[in-house]
Amino acid sequence: MASGIFTRTATGSHDQTVKRGIFMSSIATTESHTPQPDASHGEHKLGFFRTYIFSTDHKMIGLQYLFTSLFFLLIGGFLALLVRWQIGFPNTPLPILGQFLREPYVIDAIIQPAFYNMLFTMHATIMVFLVIMPLLIGAFGNFLIPLHIGAKDMAFPVLNGVSYWLYFVSGAIMLSSFFVTGGSANSGWTAYAPLSAVATYNLTQQGQSLWILGIFVNGLASIAGAINYITTILLMRAPGLGLFKMSLTVWSLFVTSVLLLLAVPVLSAAGCMLYFDLNYGTSFFLPQGGGDPLLWQHLFWFFGHPEVYIMILPAMGIVSDVLAAFARKPIFGYKAMVYAMVLIGLLGFIVWGHHMFVSGMSLVLSEWFAASTMLIAVPSAIKVFNWLGTIWGGNIRFNTPMLFALGFVSMFIIGGLSGIFLASTPVDLFVHHTYFVVAHFHYVLFGGSMFAMYSGVYFWYPKMFGKMFDETLGKIHFWLTLIFFNLTFFPMHNLGLGGMMRRIADPTVYEHLRNLQPINQFVTLAAMGLGLVQLIFFYNFFRSLLKGKPAEPNPWQATTLEWTLSHPIGHGNFQKIPTVYHGPYEYSVPGLEKDFLPQDQKLDEEETVKMTKALAAAH
C-alpha cells in the first residue's frame, strides 16, 4: 500500500532523542511486541513541576490541553445557557446568578442588551479558540501523534510545552476581559469592523483590545503546535510507516496543521491591524481614513473558512478510527478518505467568500465563491459514503465511543445538508444571518466536532489514564446528549426559516417573531437539559479516574501502535521503536485467528500462507 516516494523512516530523529537523554533504556534487539514499562523511568524521575506543570512529555501536554479545554467547555457552555435564557425569557430576571452580577451588565437581575452581546461573543470565542481547537488538536494531537507513528516524543518537546502555556495564557486573557471597564468584547466572534475598530461604536475598547491580544497569543500557540505536528509526522515515523499506512487520525491532524500554519498568521496580522485601528487611530478598516471594512472580512474569513475545516477534520479522523475499530472492518476507501481530506484542505482556501455573498463585495466574486463552495461539498459527501461503507458488512460493537462516532455521522449529515441551502446564493439572501445558520453550524460543531471529541475521549480514556470509564454512564450520556442536542438545535432551523435573526437580544420586539417565542422557550429548556446531561460526562470522567477498573493495554482490540503500550507509558513511549508491517485498519483479515492485526505484528510464514489462501478463496 505504501507508495515509494512517501515512505520514510526516521532513524535520524531517534538519534536526536537518544542524545537528549530522554530515551533512557538501551534499545532492545528482540522482536518481542510485549509492551514493557520503561524500566529506567524511576532513576530519572522528574520533579512535580517538570512532570505536571512545565512538562515536555507530549502525553502530559496532551492531558494538560484536555483538562484545560474541558474547563473552558464548562464556561463556554454556561455562557450559552445565559444566551439562551435571554432569548427564551427576555426581560425576565435571571434566577440566582442575576443577584450576583453587577450593573451595567445586569439591572434588576435582567440581562442588558450590551451584556447579551458580550455573552454570545465570548461563548463563540471560547468554544472555537479555547475548547474545540485545543481539544481536538491540542489534546488528541499531542497525546496521539507520537504514539500513533511510533515516535518517542514530538520533534520539539520544549516548543510543545511553550505552545500549551501560550494557550493557557490566551485563555486567561480572554477570561480577564470580563472584568475590565466596559466589559468584554461584544462585536461577535467575527469582530466585524468598523464596530470592532472604533471605541465609540462598541463601547468596549479595553475588552476588545484584550480579545485581539487573546486571539494573537492563541494564534502563537496554534502555530507552534502546527510546526511541531508537521515536523513530527513527516520526519519521525517508525520504520515501515509510510504516509499511506498512517491512521486517518494522524492524516487529519497533518492536514489540519498545514491549514493552521497557513491560515492563523493571516488572522494574527489582521488582529494587529484591528488593534491599531482601535487604539492608535489608523484606518485599515475605516472608510473615513481611506480603509475598507470589507478588508477585515476578507482577512478574517481567509482564516475563518480554513478554520471551519480545522475544527472538523480532526473529528473526521477520530471518527474514522473509531468506526473501523468497532465495526471490525478496514476503512472503506482509505485512500479516497485521505484524498478527500487533502482536497478539503486545498479547497478550504478558496471558498472564504461564501461568508460574504451579501456583504457588499463584487457580485462576480460571489459567483466564483458559490462555484468553489459547491465543489468543496463533494469531498465531505465522499467521506459520508465511505463511513457508511465502513459499517456495511461489519460486526458492530456498540460501546460508547462507537455510539458517539455513529452519532457524529448522523448529525454531520444533517449539518452538511443544511449547508447546501446556504451555498445557493439566492436562498442565502433569505436565510443569511438567521437561526438557520446557527442551526447549521451547531450541527457541524456540536453534532460533529463535539460528538467526535466525546467519541475520542471515551476511546482513548483507557490509554490516557489506564482506567476504564463506566460504560453504562457513557451510554446514558450518549443517548441523552443525542436527544437533547436535537431538541435544542433542530427547531433553530424552523426559527431561521421563520425569519429570526441571529444576535438579537430580544426577539419579542419584532412583530414577525413574536409568535415564534414558544419555540424559543422550548429551545431554551432543551438547551438547559443538554447542558445538564453533560455533567454526566464530567462525573464519569473524574469518578473513573479514581474508581475506574484498570484497563488492559488494548481493550478495544485495535490495531494502531498506541495499543501495544501498557499503562503507564513512560517518558519516551517505546522501549524499542516498533517496525510497521501493515496498514492501520487490518481488521477481520481472512485466515487469521484474531479479528485484528496490529500494525507492528510480523506474520510468520504459516500465517502468511493461510492469509493468502483465504484471501484468494474470498475473491
Partner 1 sequence: MAAARTDNLWWLPPVITTRGQEADKIFYFIFWLTTVVFIVTQILLIYYCVKYRYRKGKKAVYSHGNNKFEIIWTITPTLIFFGLFFWSNHVWKEFHETPPADAITIEVTAEQYGFNMRYPGPDGILGKAEDSSMSKDNKLGLDANDPAGKDDFTTYNDMTIPVGKPIHLLIRSRDVIHAFYVPVFRLYQDMVPGRTINWVWFVTTEVGNHELACNQLCGKGHYNMKAKISIVTEDEYKKWLQGFLPEPQPVVMIKQ
Q: Which of positions 80-139 make contact with partner 1 (CB under 8 A)?
A: 112-114, 116-117
Which of 74, 109, 262, 294 is close enough to bind partner 1 by CB under 8 A? 294
User: Should residue 515 be labelled a site residue for partner 1 when binding is judged by CB under 8 A?
Assistant: yes
Assigned C-alpha cell, 461: 480514556
User: Should residue 406 be labelled a site residue for partner 1 when binding is judged by CB under 8 A?
Assistant: yes
553 φ, ψ to 5°? -60, -35
Q: CA 310, CA 254: separation in Å to the nearest integer?
A: 10
User: Should residue 418 be labelled a site residue for partner 1 when binding is judged by CB under 8 A?
Assistant: yes
User: Should residue 24 be labelled a site residue for partner 1 when binding is judged by CB under 8 A?
Assistant: no
| Contact in structure between 413 and 384 (CB atoms under 8 Å) | yes
CB of residue 214 to partner 1, shortest distance in Å: 19
- # residues near partner 1 by CB under 8 A: 103
Please work out, in degrees rounded to the nearest 5, the angle formed at the alpha carbon of residue 12 by the alpha carbons of 6 and 18.
140
User: Should residue 333 be labelled a site residue for partner 1 when binding is judged by CB under 8 A?
Assistant: yes
| Contact in structure between 562 and 600 (CB atoms under 8 Å) | no
User: Should residue 394 be labelled a site residue for partner 1 when binding is judged by CB under 8 A?
Assistant: yes
| Contact in structure between 14 and 153 (CB atoms under 8 Å) | no
| Contact in structure between 238 and 578 (CB atoms under 8 Å) | yes
User: Should residue 47 be labelled a site residue for partner 1 when binding is judged by CB under 8 A?
Assistant: no
User: Should residue 347 be labelled a site residue for partner 1 when binding is judged by CB under 8 A?
Assistant: no
Which of 188, 239, 466, 529 is close enough to bind partner 1 by CB under 8 A? 188
Residue closer to partner 1 (CB basis): 42 or 360: 360
| Contact in structure between 602 and 54 (CB atoms under 8 Å) | no
Footprint of partner 1 on 433-462 (CB under 8 A):
433-434
Assigned C-alpha cell, 368: 466564483
Interface mask toward partner 1 for 219-248; x: CB under 8 A: ------------------------------
Q: CA 227, CA 75: separation in Å to the nearest integer?
A: 29
User: Should residue 201 be labelled a site residue for partner 1 when binding is judged by CB under 8 A?
Assistant: yes
| Contact in structure between 120 and 188 (CB atoms under 8 Å) | yes
User: Should residue 616 be labelled a site residue for partner 1 when binding is judged by CB under 8 A?
Assistant: no
Angle between the N-to-C axes of helices 471-497 and 451-465, in degrees from 0 to 180, rounded to the nearest 10: 160
User: Should residue 505 be labelled a site residue for partner 1 when binding is judged by CB under 8 A?
Assistant: yes
* CB burial of residue 478 (10 Å; 0-12, 13-18, 19+): buried
User: Should residue 367 be labelled a site residue for partner 1 when binding is judged by CB under 8 A?
Assistant: yes
CB of residue 506 to partner 1, shortest distance in Å: 5
Query: Sign (positive/negative) of CA torsion 194, 502, 479, 411?
Result: negative
Footprint of partner 1 on 374-393 (CB under 8 A):
374-375, 377-378, 381-382, 384-386, 388-389, 391-393
Residue closer to partner 1 (CB basis): 262 or 294: 294
With residue 227 as reference, give the H or E element that holds it.
helix 205-235
User: Should residue 79 be labelled a site residue for partner 1 when binding is judged by CB under 8 A?
Assistant: no
The piece of 154-162, 409-417, 525-533, 556-564 that touches partner 1 (CB under 8 A) is 409-417
User: Should residue 514 be labelled a site residue for partner 1 when binding is judged by CB under 8 A?
Assistant: yes
CB of residue 447 to partner 1, shortest distance in Å: 13
* DSSP strand pairing (106-107 vs 110-111): antiparallel
Residue closer to partner 1 (CB basis): 216 or 435: 435
The piece of 231-239, 352-360, 543-551, 571-579 that touches partner 1 (CB under 8 A) is 352-360
Decide: helix, strand or coil at residue 67. Answer: helix
With residue 107 as reference, give the H or E element that holds it.
strand 106-107
The piece of 14-22, 139-147, 168-176, 289-297 that touches partner 1 (CB under 8 A) is 289-297
| Contact in structure between 222 and 260 (CB atoms under 8 Å) | yes
Q: CA 335, CA 333: separation in Å to the nearest integer?
A: 6
Footprint of partner 1 on 530-589 (CB under 8 A):
585, 587-589
Residues in the chain: 619
CB of residue 269 to partner 1, shortest distance in Å: 21
Which of 410, 521, 557, 579 is close enough to bind partner 1 by CB under 8 A? 410
Which of 84, 148, 298, 432 is close enough to bind partner 1 by CB under 8 A? 432
Which of 194, 304, 345, 353 is close enough to bind partner 1 by CB under 8 A? 194
User: Should residue 186 be labelled a site residue for partner 1 when binding is judged by CB under 8 A?
Assistant: yes
Assigned C-alpha cell, 115: 451584556
Assigned C-alpha cell, 468: 476504564
